[in-house]
Amino acid sequence: MGPFAERMPGRVYREFVSPGRDGLKFLRFGLVSLPSGSEQVIVGTPEELALVIMGGKCDITCLGFKWAGLGDRSTPFDGKASAAYIPAGIGFTIAAQTPLLIALAAAPGSPGGIPQVVHPNDVEVSTSGMGNFRREVHTIIGPNISARRLFFGEVFGPEGNWITYPPHKHDTTSEREANLEEVRYYLSLPAGGFGFERVYAADGSFDHVKVVEDGSVSAIPCGYHTAASAPGYQFYYLWAMAGPVRDWKTVDDPDHS
């Protein structure tokens, strides 16, 4: 079990991926679920954390900071996110004002960072692609936050669109590319939708295609990757990235760019 599974009851925290599983070396990802009026204390760990509020409202207290009333949406489809960055070694408390769902990403960190909060107006929103591969990208934990390794964001695609295209990768270190593994958490509107994700190597050494549904979690340690949703379902995915160095550069597959 990871450091959070050991500290929180099973019904509070559900972990999906962790270092040493699914080819990952750095990333841990899970969901924290708290009923209204409850409080959860998390002891500091060697990992830095990104906490993105998926739905609900809460107070987060740590190291003399208190961020009250965080959360402005019922689901990710209702607007931009609120989030918090907690450096390694710092404990904190979450107090749920309403039923609360938080996505938690973690990666190895080092002490000495400063906790930071991201309000909806701080989220960087951009549009990528065009036509049937247009999507809206929300960067939540990016250059705006002084993290050691983590990046965190959300992507929203119209129904039936490619939600990642052209295929791209970020698994080596060069002037054009950063070495970053990735975890994705997919949701659909309405619930019950499905899509497809492909992860492959240019040399053909692996080529994995799988169905992704509402609630699917995908680990992408390396390779080009792309995804599409079925008609009739607006699709969303939350993405977390981390690597040996905090740099953010990707390269497209030249065969499809």
What local confidence, expressed as pLDDT, does residue 7 receive? Answer: 45
Where b means 16+ CB within 10 Å and e means fewer, 202-240 reads: eeeeeeeeeebbbebbbbbbbbbbbbbbeeebbbbbbbb
Cis-peptide into 166, omega within 30 deg: yes
Q: What is the DSSP letter of 74?
A: S
Q: Which residues of the chain have pLDDT under 50?
A: 1-2, 4-9
72 contacts 80 by C-beta, under 8 angstroms = yes
Over residues 79-101, the pLDDT tens digits come to 999 999 999 999 999 999 999 99
What local confidence, expressed as pLDDT, does residue 122 receive? Answer: 96
Token pair belonging to 252: 């497209």
Distance between CA atoms of 181 and 168, rounded to whole angstroms? 12
pTM for the full predicted model: 0.94
Name, in order, each residue with C-beta under 8 angstroms of 89's C-beta and a sequence gap of 6 or more.
44, 45, 46, 109, 111
Name, in order, each residue with C-beta under 8 angstroms of 6's C-beta and a sequence gap of 6 or more.
none
Number of other residues whose CB lies within 10 A of the CB of residue 196 = 14
Q: What is the DSSP letter of 227?
A: E
